[in-house]
Structure 1
Amino acid sequence: ILHFHIPDFPIAVARVVDPGLRGRPVAIVPATSRRALLQAVSGEARAEGIWTGMPLETALRRCPRLHLLAPAPELLTRAGRAVWELTAGYAPVREPAGQGRIYLDASGCSRLLGPGRDLAMRLERELHKRLRLDGSIGVAGNKMTALIAAGYLRRTGVCDILPGSEAAFLAPLPVRQLPGVGRRRFDLLDELGLVRIGDIAALELSRLALLFGGFAPLLQLRARGIDPSPVCPPRRKPALAAETTLPRASNEMLLLRAELCRLVEQLGLELRRRGTGCRRIELRLVYADGVERRGQLGCDDAAETDDELLALTDRLFERLNERRVQLRSLRLRLLELGGAIQPGLFGDRDGPRGAFRNSRALQQAIDQLRHRFGDRAVRRGRGMVVVNKNASVAPSPGGRGPGGGGSQ
């Protein structure tokens, strides 16, 4: 198993575009506000006492010569796709593991591809030659050990852990490097004097169970270098997504609710065109200081009308939007597509089924008008809010009727 990692991926990509940034303290920050939080920092910046998540104002006090870069999501997407395509010839099974990270499983391919260490060195050379990126690669018998090995050298290169030596490699390392050992568990282990992974591996399972309960067996296996989890290729699940970026950051609730309404109407129309429903939605909020909040909300029955989707979206938005910072963008995804609700053949017109049938009939009529006269033919009044040039919020100037965008 190989774990391939490009350290500080956003900054590494920026340095390919602008080689003059090499050797300088660099940070990615999403806004010019001095309260904005750093999204990524270079090794030179960390040497100056700067870390990811630090407020920009504090970072500039510590390092006045810090070079600031704006996020470039499109560039990172292209770079990530190029790295993924480059690794295609190095293993039959691959798994993306985050920005600039990929697992590769070359088990049983040594006669075709060569030993794991040679394979990793060829990958490292080709990455530098073709994309001018440098990465660190861990080679081991399982995913967890390969992950830890990739960061062991603290520099680019290949760290090869021989089969059977996983426990010996992990034993002297600090327990914080084990997956699943967060701050609470680390503090508990530190109080007990268990500071090395080997200390945990040497403990009996019964004693670990007193401390960590049901997590103890998994913790012991990991401390002994055992990880049975396979490398899983990405699975494509049907989904619909839409995103909006505000002209300027805002926490005006009328505007935010209008944007959510427009996203729901856009996705809902496409959902019904496919003749399906969704059982889960996902909402991502990006604040002006770069902080992201993401959450999901499911429903028992498939939702398909705008009313149902909007009710779910509003509930999720209220749960996620707890900060008082202005929002920069919103992204809505419809997940678990399939199985649109079928109304019953019998039922009271005034009961729940009757209300559903009336709602669905109204939705079908609205969709027919939109199909005939355009998506903006019938719109909710809630969604007809815009930001004027003077940054005030006001209703949009659309007129009535199919041609003018009347409200519902």
Structure 2
Amino acid sequence: MTRLRSVLHADLDAFFVAVECVLNPRLKGRPVVVGGAPEKRGVVAAASYEARSFGIHSAMPMAQAFRLCPDLVRVSGSHAMYSRASRAVFEILGNFTPIVEKVSVDEAYLDMTGTNLVVGRTLDAAEKMRREVRERLRLDLTIGSSQNRLVSKVASAFAKPQGLFDVRPGQEARFLAPLPVKTLPGVGPVTEEKLLGFNLPTLGSLANTETCFLKERFGSYGASLRRRARGEDETPVLPPWERPQEKSIGHEETFPEDTGDDDFLHAKLQALLSAATRRLRKRALLARKVTIRLRWADFVTVSRDFTLPLATDHDGELLKPALELLHRMQTRRTLVRLLGVRLSGLCRGFWQGSLHEVQGSPGRSLVQALDSIRDRYGDSSVQTGEAVRLPPR
């Protein structure tokens, strides 16, 4: 007999904004967004529920958000504070089960199967988690509970904000049936439009559709759609030690103003490489492949890459070939809107320095010292000569 699982989906409510409200209680109850300035073509990273009532949502251009709500309060945000708050929340969650899968800075799955002898009934434990996060950190945590990840995620969305919702074993399909198809994780606008075109507006109607019909129209994905609409999901919750390694690490930036300044682009490329390789070092990873992405003002976008003979986590070994590649990519007399860097071909390890180390590049000890300073005082606390050319942000 298959053992029943017990899975929670924990999601912090309006996390970035909630942290800002803890830091500045005067923001509470007001329409608040976290994100870049509208004059710099910033976008909304997070919005309070009060701001959402005006139709404001994440990824919306900040200028549009202010048009929807002229009284909007914008804060730039403190990602260091968000990271600290996130770590504190995950420490609390880890006291209830060792099997915690961190999906993002404010979201996690917890496998509570077999923990009842230690922490009691799953729902009691979930309520205790919410209470501890609220009392210790003054943040609100919403939790969905069921036998699997998929239904628990939908349940937590159903319970927001500040809620706890449990779907009992055997009730998964009944719970999902009246919900719109877009509620199902993974169903985006394109799939939703197709399903509505087939007169399948709810998960119940999708669940009751013949598999062969869905396969004819969606391929093998059709069978998966039907199973998931019925609340069937066997995906395990993966703790850090069982999680697959990241496939790539990258950074990109849309500039406040389109630019044709080569010095600026070179300095920006170095800054992006520095940020990406710093993330490599934090994860004890090396990279062999570098991809540069360039978007011009007319939105034409191109990507090119190069591969190193040896993997590295040192931006000094990547900068020269990256600059050469960027130069070869600049074939148009059009201003540049966006520049991005992605590192891939990742493997575990630490850079030891090559036999032919790049002249003028810092050694391992200096790189580690620079990382330590930036961790403590921020990314702009110490900069290379190229990066100093960048305007303050």
For the 8 Å contact 1:280–1:335, the answer to whether it is kept is yes
SS at match of 2:200: coil
**Alpha-carbon offset, residue 97 of structure 1:** 1.2
Segment of structure 1 superposing worse, 32-41 or 233-242: 233-242
What residue in structure 2 maps to residue 254 of structure 1? 263
- Is residue 347 of structure 2 the alignment partner of residue 337 of structure 1? yes
How far is 1:314 from its partner?
Answer: 6.4
Quick one: structure 1 residues 185 and 334, their matched pair in 2 at CA, closer, same or farther if it must change by over 3 Å?
closer
Q: Provide the secondary structure at the position in 1 that maps to 2:104.
A: coil
Find out whether 1:188 has 2:194 as its counterpart. yes
CA distance in 1, matches of 2:192, 2:253: 40
Q: Is structure 2 residue 232 aligned with structure 1 residue 226? A: yes
Which residue number corresponds to residue 93 of structure 1?
Answer: 99
d(CA) in 2 for partners of 1:224 and 1:193? 17
CA distance in 2 between counterparts of 1:201 and 1:190 reads 14
Q: Which residue of 2 aligns with 1:2?
A: 8
Equivalent pairs: percent with the same residue?
31
Report the counterpart of residue 75 of structure 2 in structure 1.
69
Paired residues for 1:167-246 under 5 Å: 167-235=173-241
Distance 1:27 1:95 in 2: 27
Change beyond 3 A, Cα 1:284–1:144? farther
Q: Aligned partners of 2:304, 2:145: CA distance in 1, in Å?
A: 35
Contact 1:28 1:68 in 2 (8 A): yes
| Unmatched tracts of structure 2, length 5 or more | 1-6, 295-300, 368-383
1:44, 1:202 → 2: CA distance? 38
| Residues 240 and 267 in structure 1, CA contact (< 8 A), matched pair in contact too | no
Residue matched to 2:117: 111
Using the alignment, how far apart are the partners of 1:26 and 1:366 within structure 2? 48
Q: Deviations over 1:239-282 (max 9, x none)?
A: 99999999x9884332322453577699999x9xxxx9633447
Cα contact 1:268–1:309 (8 A) shared by 2: no
Q: Give runs of aligned pairs for residues 6-405 of structure 1, distance below 5 A.
A: 6-33=12-39, 35-235=41-241, 251=259, 252-261=261-270, 278-281=287-290, 299=307, 302-303=310-311, 310-311=320-321, 324-325=336-337, 336-337=346-347, 363-364=356-357, 366=359, 385=386
Distance, in Å, in 2 between the alignment partners of 1:126 and 1:119 is 10
Change (3 A) 1:209 1:73: same
- Of structures 1 and 2, the larger Rg is shown by 1
Structure 1, residues 43-97: CA drift from partner, whole Å, max 9, x if none? Answer: 1111123222333333223222111111211111111111111111111200011
Distance 1:240 1:206 in 2: 37
Computed over aligned residues only, the root mean square deviation of the Cα atoms, in angstroms, reads 4.4
Change (3 A) 1:219 1:310: farther
Query: Letter of the aligned partner of 2:53 in structure 1?
Result: A
Task: Write the letter of the residue equivalent to 1:47.
Answer: S
Change (3 A) 1:365 1:141: closer
Does the C-alpha gap of structure 1 residues 100 and 298 become closer, same or farther in structure 2, counting only changes over 3 Å?
Answer: farther
1:100, distance to aligned residue in structure 2 (A):
1.0
* Whole-angstrom CA distance in 1 between matches of 2:137 and 2:150: 27
Aligned residues: 345
Which contiguous aligned blocks of 4+ residues in structure 1 show a shift greater than 4 angstroms?
235-246, 261-269, 281-285, 295-301, 303-310, 312-319, 330-335, 369-372, 383-389
Cα distance in structure 2, aligned partners of 1:174 and 1:239: 33
Gap change, CA 1:218 and 1:315, over 3 Å in 2? farther
CA contact (8 A) 2:14 2:47 kept: yes
The superposition leaves residues 164-215 of structure 1 with CA deviations (integer Å, 9 ceiling, x where unpaired) of 1111111111100112211111101111110010111111111110111020
Distance 2:358 2:335 in 1: 39
